Amino acid sequence: MKINSSLLWIAAICLLISGCSNYRELNQLGVITGMGIDQNDDPEQPYRVTYQVINPSGISQTGSSGGQGLAIINYTITARTLQEAFGKESAVIPRENMISHLSLIAIDEELARNGIDLLFDAFDRGKGARTSIPIFIARGKTAEDVLSVIEPLEITPGKNILSTTKNNQQMYGSSSEVLVYDAISALLSEGKDVLLPGISIRNDSKKAKQTSNFETTTPAILESKGLAIFRKGKLVRWLDGETARAANFVTSEINRTPVVLPCGDKGNVTINAIGVKSKIKTEIHHEQPVIHTSLNVMAETVDTSCELDLSNPKLLKEFEKKMENKLKKQIKKSISIAQKEKADIFGFGDALSRTNPDYWRQHKKDWDNLFSDAQISMKVKVNVINSGIRMEPYEPK
């Protein structure tokens, strides 16, 4: 069947017209890319919300046309609710507000310790709600402070936070990206608690919020730092370094990470974990939960300060066993801390509810105590699949 050509032209014109009906110049929009939520001292206005808005003129400084000001501008509002804050910020942001490009949320540590149970309702309830936004806890500083650091390597603090966390997750694993959706799911769950990444300021100074921060070789920088343990929606403790990494081993959030083992009298060998798979299994023994965790790790040797012949398979087996024991020790410590805080950040309760639903229905209200006393069984299997290009050590002349 032939279609009249005039109808095609009419359809094309309609598409063009409709496509331009929402057209806005960039200098007419206040594009919000970052949001900081702090505890306010005034109980009548409990929230202090910072909106980070892109300054197109500042970004254009990187081009040939030049520009004015910084790449971002922060606007801070106090309010009773987050939605009220979003409405009130229209009085200070002199452009049409656009929040669809919001890329992260930073939450004040003080506010997190008081509880975040209902904090994310505003992101999940409205028609334009988005729950795919990463969340961070501003550690030791306010969220406003964190979003105000003028970093030399990234255009905006928000971009730096996202990049730093991603790099850490890929190269070491003591941090991980958690979305609003994940936090809401954990808050609603009866068998899992929230675990959120921290962000702090290293080399903090008065210059951190000024362009003079560029004028030193040791500027104030944003640092991905630790994982925040929550219990019933309240921050109770931090995991750091190897202990934080161990928590991510349990939840398979590790992409690649170096594990350092002793060799010789004073030397060390570094083995990179390059593939991590973990499993959680639960069972009931004498009416008490027993949690089984298993971890399979593929690894490769990347450096050594000992005189070792890495072509020797017995030596590799020895390092595999050492790495297994070290990971077991770190993971046990991480789980022990969570048990002490009665915070099931690993989702063992969720696993139990699926494998033993009858037992779970009867005991879920007492899961905090059951988890705290639960027996943990752990298996770690390491397979070193590559010892590098060089097999023999450097020989001194």
Mean pLDDT of 47-53: 95
Burial of 40-51, coded b for 16+ CB within 10 Å and e otherwise, reads: beeeebbbbbbb
Mean pLDDT of 33-49: 95
Residue 390 corresponds to which tokens in the numbers above? 């060089």
Mean pLDDT of 140-148: 94
Mean pLDDT of 371-394: 81
What confidence score (pLDDT) does residue 125 get?
Answer: 80
Residue 339 corresponds to which tokens in the numbers above? 């048990």
Residue 303 corresponds to which tokens in the numbers above? 């450096």
The pTM of the full predicted model, rounded to 2 decimals, is: 0.87
Phi, psi (degrees; rounded to nearest 5) at 138? -75, 110
Instruction: Give the residue, 95 or 89, on which the prediction is more confident.
Output: 89
Mean pLDDT of 180-192: 94
pLDDT value at 20 more than 90: no
Mean pLDDT of 96-120: 91
| 163-179 pLDDT tens trace | 999 999 999 999 999 99
Contact 76, 87 (CB under 8 A): no
pLDDT value at 31 more than 50: yes
What confidence score (pLDDT) does residue 65 get?
Answer: 41
- In the chain, ranges of CATH 3.30.300.210 domains: 252-397
| 216-253 pLDDT tens trace | 888 888 999 999 999 999 999 999 999 999 999 998 88
pLDDT value at 41 more than 80: yes
Residues in a beta bridge with 234? 231
CATH fold for domain 252-397: GMP Synthetase; Chain A, domain 3 (3.30.300)
Q: How far is the C-alpha of 9 from the C-alpha of 15, rounded, in Å? A: 10
pLDDT value at 13 more than 60: no
